Amino acid sequence: EADIYQTPRYLVIGTGKKITLECSQTMGHDKMYWYQQDPGMELHLIHYSYGVNSTEKGDLSSESTVSRIRTEHFPLTLESARPSHTSQYLCASSEAGPYPEQFFGPGTRLTVL
Amino acid sequence: GENVEQHPSTLSVQEGDSAVIKCTYSDSASNYFPWYKQELGKGPQLIIDIRSNVGEKKDQRIAVTLNKTAKHFSLHITETQPEDSAVYFCAASLTGGGNKLTFGTGTQLKVEL
C-alpha cells in the first residue's frame, strides 16, 4: 500500500472560492506530480516537482498553482474556482532514478457549482 | 512531445478468457513503458513495466510485449477473473526526461461471470 494521501477526497464548492488540495507522502520521494483526470478517464499532467523549491508546469495548461516547501508536501491551489475546474485531481510521487514507479494517491473529486 | 494511443477504450470478456490491450507511441526515444490499473475510487497502481531492451515480460497472469520497430506495446491478461475488472492505462517515458509519463487514454475492462 502506497503511503500517499490526499485531502479532501470530495469537495463541492461555489464559483469564485479559493481552494487548496492537499497531498502528502511519507516515502521520502523527491519527485511529485499532479494529474487532472477527465470523466472519460484520460490522465493529464498539470504540475510536477523534482524536489523542494522546484515546481514545473505539465503538459496540460492549468490555472492552478503548486508549491513545494517540504519534501513530503505538494499542495495545489486554485485562487478562484470555476465550473471548468470540475474534475478528479490525482497526486503521485516517485523516487529519482531511470525507471521510477509512480505511486498515486486516491484522488480528490472537485465539483465547482 | 510524446503521444500515446490506446485501444480499445472498452473491453468486455468472459471470466477465464484472455484480454489484450494495445498501445502505440510516437517518440522513438521513449524507453520505459509501464502499465497501471485503476480500480473504482482509487488512484492508478503499477502492475507491470517493460524497458526498451526487453521484448517481453511476464508476471503470473499478465504479460507485456514491446515492438520497438513498430513503436507499439501490448498488455496480455490470461485467465481473467472478476477482480481484473478496472481501467488500465499504458504509458511511455524517456528516462532522463524528468521521468514524466505520457499516459494512454485508458481501457475499461469488464470481466463478466
Q: Print pLDDT tens along chain B (113 aa).
A: 889 999 999 999 999 999 999 999 999 989 999 999 999 989 999 999 998 888 999 999 999 999 999 999 999 999 999 999 999 999 998 876 567 889 999 999 999 99
Q: Nearest chain A Cα to B33, which residue?
A: A99
Query: To 10 degrees, the CA torsion angle through B21, B25, B31, B34?
Result: -30
pLDDT at B45: 96
Query: Does B105 contact A42 at a Cβ distance shorter than 8 Å?
Result: yes
Query: Does B108 contact A41 at a Cβ distance shorter than 8 Å?
Result: yes
pLDDT at A41: 83
Judge contact between A83 and A30, C-beta under 8 A: no
Higher pLDDT, residue A86 or A96: A86
pLDDT exceeds 60 at position A1:
no
Judge contact between A58 and A45, C-beta under 8 A: yes
pLDDT band at A71 (very low <50, low <70, confident <90, very high): very high
Alpha-carbon span A56 to A78, nearest angstrom = 16
- Whether a cis peptide bond, with omega within 30° of 0, leads into A106 is no
Alpha-carbon gap: B64 to the closest alpha carbon of chain A (Å) = 16
pLDDT at A60: 83
The angle subtended at Cα B41 by Cα A74 and Cα A57, nearest 5°, is 30
Alpha-carbon span A58 to B63, nearest angstrom = 30
Query: Does B46 contact A99 at a Cβ distance shorter than 8 Å?
Result: no
